[in-house]
Structure 1
Amino acid sequence: MKKTLPLPLWTIAVPILAWIAYFGMSLDLGSLYSFVLAAVLIGSVLAAVHHAEVVAHRVGEPYGTLLLALAITVIEVALIVSLMLTGGPETTALARDTVLAAVMIILTGMIGLCLLVGGARFKEQVFSLQGVSAALVTLTAILVLTLVLPNYTTSKAGPVYTTAQLAFVAVVSLVLYGTFVLVQTVRHRDFFLPPEADGNEDAHAEPPAKNVALWSALLLLVCLGVVVLLAKALAPDIELAVVNAGAPKSLVGVIIAAVVLLPEGLAAYRAAKKNRLQTSLNLAMGSALASIGLTIPAVAIVSMVTGMTVTLGIDMKSTVLLLLSLFTIMLSLATGKTNILQGVVLLVIFAVYLFTIIAP
């Protein structure tokens, strides 16, 4: 007699097939093979979302969302660092572009979609104001220190930090992110717990067994690893399609960031549909904080070890859109309740961000 339901077979088979397809790239099977890679990539994203929800249900909030954010970010950081080490001087702005794209996708695209879907289905959704405020104040400080301030320092020309400045900002980023994680998981964990809400069908569901959760955690890492590797492998094809369409190459970075963030985005979307907005916001804010709070220190270490110059400062257009996004989301999440209007406004800003990349 089974004590627990086994994991769905497809969530185990798809990532295995994806890894086989990834290593099969060395056989040079032609251009149509890219469609196979894209198919298994999408399947791996869906499998990752399933395993993330299993683990999150087992460990509870906010540990589950923190685990998913950290897992994706660590793999993303490893990808950025590997590309920097092999790409040479042409990748000096890679970390900046990737972090900016990830933050804009999360703050305006991911959260906007969650607020729109939740507002359309439930009219109003509630969340813990203290937790979101803690995340936003930390995120705002790290974003300004890493992406805006380099444009205004005078020790070195250009939107770059000196070695000493870069090291200092890297330490500050780690301190801010580490303090946030401490507050989220220990000191004020209750700030990040979802309030009781009608329509939350998962509130009293039986958590999965320990062995099922452990297998899901392992398979989650397997899925996330192959998602990032397949995204990197498909990057040349995506770049070729973007160039053929007459769009700037900077759009490639946005597409890759969106693919990497897809597991978190789908998990946040599904949580919003189940009236669990707090889980959606924990995923989104945690992902944005982990992305910039871990990427900048990692890039700083690479810069100091290799002597490579790292460009961090964003241009004026990006600065305006970033500050507009932060200001808008602070107002949208200032009352502890959301509706469809905030979602529409954030998605419009996201559309403007994408449009100004294509038509700067």
Structure 2
Amino acid sequence: MRIASDFLSRHAYTLTCWLVWLAFILAPSLDPHRIGLGWTAAIALGVFAAMLGCVFTVVRHADHLADMLGEPLGTLVLTLSATAIEVSLMLMIMLTGQQNPTLLRDTVFATLMVLLNGLVGLSLAAGGWRHLEQEFNLRGALSFLHLIAPLSLVLLVMPNYSRSSAGHTLAPQQEGFLGALCVLVYAGFLLLQTGRHRSLFDHPFNTQQNGFDDNLGEKPVHKIPAGPGAIARSAAGLLLSVVPIVLLAEHLGGFVDFGLETLHAPGALGGLVVSGLVLAPEGLGALRAALANRMQRAVNICLGSALSTIALTVPTVLIAASLSNHTLELGLEGIDPTLLYASLLVLLITLVSGRATILQGQAHLMLFVAYLFFIFYP
């Protein structure tokens, strides 16, 4: 009896998500076009809350795996789990609603703004407030930026200047080339990150390559000895928590798409909703790591998630769009390119210092607030 009680307490959110999904299967009449906007909003909030609770369970299992596997493998598990959620949610919104050619662009841009400004700024500010100054592995952080900057500019800015197709789009041949290029580049990066250059993404106190005084650095974090059984149990728990989020993504996607179409809301708001749910695990994980004086893990989470969005989510959606004859607009419009340039520049200035303070966090949070403001007042 006690074992069953402990199991239910640890997996309550996961069980709730599975029950909500089962309710949708047994009650197919919960169609937003039938029940109206009011009930749609109420049900969507309930589904979002259930998925968010399941996200917290994903974070807990990912933290356990991170402690057992060490960096960067532990963070990579969390990143790939969130990427699976992002891809599924985006595909469901794209395939179940009307033609939404800017969904991919808006979601990727929102993800970059949330990660590079919102979460990075919050982590720097929270960690700086508690610990004054924190270290991270400079060379590893710059390795992320070396790929984030060119890939984001190629995917989000270059389509505005392409002459092979009209508007802010790319020709099918260009989409295929960029999708394959992103996957190949990311595969090579993962091989280096988990292999010969793994030390660049580990904590500074372990590598001793930054040349900084360790008095202000992170506290040593050692892997927790664990057998294959413990790792398998945590991995199974994470998988069982991710799957209902992916399954509920179809239903939440239909509600979000219906709400945006009915209210004639800004298209960028849909991208922000998608990225907000997807990035909840990373946001919680990065903030907890920064408060625990583990800034390297926070950096790996934020920048690793940004890179996976560019290098995995985009190719997947590009391929799905081409197979379903779905037109995609990738080029940023209005002030968005300026916000992207400013974000990459400020991030570079932050990373080259090799240390994290609350002042740097304020600069990133300023850009994030500006992004939120210009969604409604472009």
- Tell me the TM-score normalised to structure 1 length: 0.89
Match of 1:302 in 2: 320
2:19 pairs with 1:20: yes
Moved more, 200-209 or 129-138: 200-209
Match of 2:198 in 1: 189
Q: Give the RMSD, CA atoms, in angstroms.
A: 2.7
Question: How far does the alpha carbon of each residue in 1:259-293 deviate from its partner, in whole angstroms, 9 at most, with x for none?
Answer: 11101110111111111111111111111111110
Match of 1:113 among 101, 118, 122: 122
2:52 pairs with 1:42: yes
Query: What is the alpha-carbon distance in structure 2 between the residues aligned to residue 8 and residue 285 of structure 1?
Result: 34
Secondary structure class of the residue paired with 2:157: helix
- Counterpart of 1:78 in structure 2: which amino acid? S
The runs of at least 4 consecutive aligned structure 1 residues that moved more than 6 Å come to 239-246
Match of 1:80 in 2: 90
2:352 pairs with 1:334: yes
Give 1:315 deviation, angstroms.
Answer: 0.7
Give 1:202 deviation, angstroms.
Answer: 6.7
Query: What is the alpha-carbon distance in structure 2 between the residues aligned to residue 176 and residue 7 of structure 1?
Result: 44
Residues 166 and 269 of structure 1, relative CA distance in 2, 3 Å threshold: same
What is the aligned residue count? 354
Query: What is the alpha-carbon distance in structure 2 between the residues aligned to residue 267 and residue 292 of structure 1?
Result: 20
Question: How far does the alpha carbon of each residue in 1:188-239 deviate from its partner, in whole angstroms, 9 at most, with x for none?
Answer: 1000001226685671463444323212212212222333444553456667
Structural mapping, 1:58-77, within 5 Å: 58-77=68-87
Question: How far does the alpha carbon of each residue in 1:273-325 deviate from its partner, in whole angstroms, 9 at most, with x for none?
Answer: 11111111111111111111012222332243333322111113111101111
- Counterpart of 1:331 in structure 2: which amino acid? I
Question: How far does the alpha carbon of each residue in 1:58-92 deviate from its partner, in whole angstroms, 9 at most, with x for none?
Answer: 1111011111111221232233234333435x122
Query: What is the alpha-carbon distance in structure 2 between the residues aligned to residue 243 and residue 312 of structure 1?
Result: 20
Residues 202 and 14 of structure 1, relative CA distance in 2, 3 Å threshold: farther
Residues 228 and 317 of structure 1, relative CA distance in 2, 3 Å threshold: farther
Gaps of 5+ in 1: 1-5
Question: How far does the alpha carbon of each residue in 1:1-59 deviate from its partner, in whole angstroms, 9 at most, with x for none?
Answer: xxxxx987533232022111222134368946555434432321221111010111111
Query: What is the alpha-carbon distance in structure 2 between the residues aligned to residue 84 and residue 244 of structure 1?
Result: 16
Query: What is the alpha-carbon distance in structure 2 between the residues aligned to residue 199 and residue 245 of structure 1?
Result: 49
Match of 1:349 in 2: 367
Residues 231 and 353 of structure 1, relative CA distance in 2, 3 Å threshold: farther
Query: What is the alpha-carbon distance in structure 2 between the residues aligned to residue 242 and residue 160 of structure 1?
Result: 22
Gaps of 5+ in 2: 206-213
Match of 2:210 in 1: none
Residues 7 and 328 of structure 1, relative CA distance in 2, 3 Å threshold: farther
Identity across matched positions, percent: 36
- Counterpart of 2:79 in structure 1: which amino acid? A
Secondary structure class of the residue paired with 2:183: helix
Do the aligned residues in 1 keep the contact of 2:59 with 2:284 (CA within 8 Å)?
Answer: yes
Query: What is the alpha-carbon distance in structure 2 between the residues aligned to residue 294 and residue 205 of structure 1?
Result: 28
Moved more, 134-143 or 199-208: 199-208
Query: What is the alpha-carbon distance in structure 1 between the residues aligned to residue 146 and residue 304 of structure 2?
Result: 13
Match of 2:291 among 247, 255, 273: 273
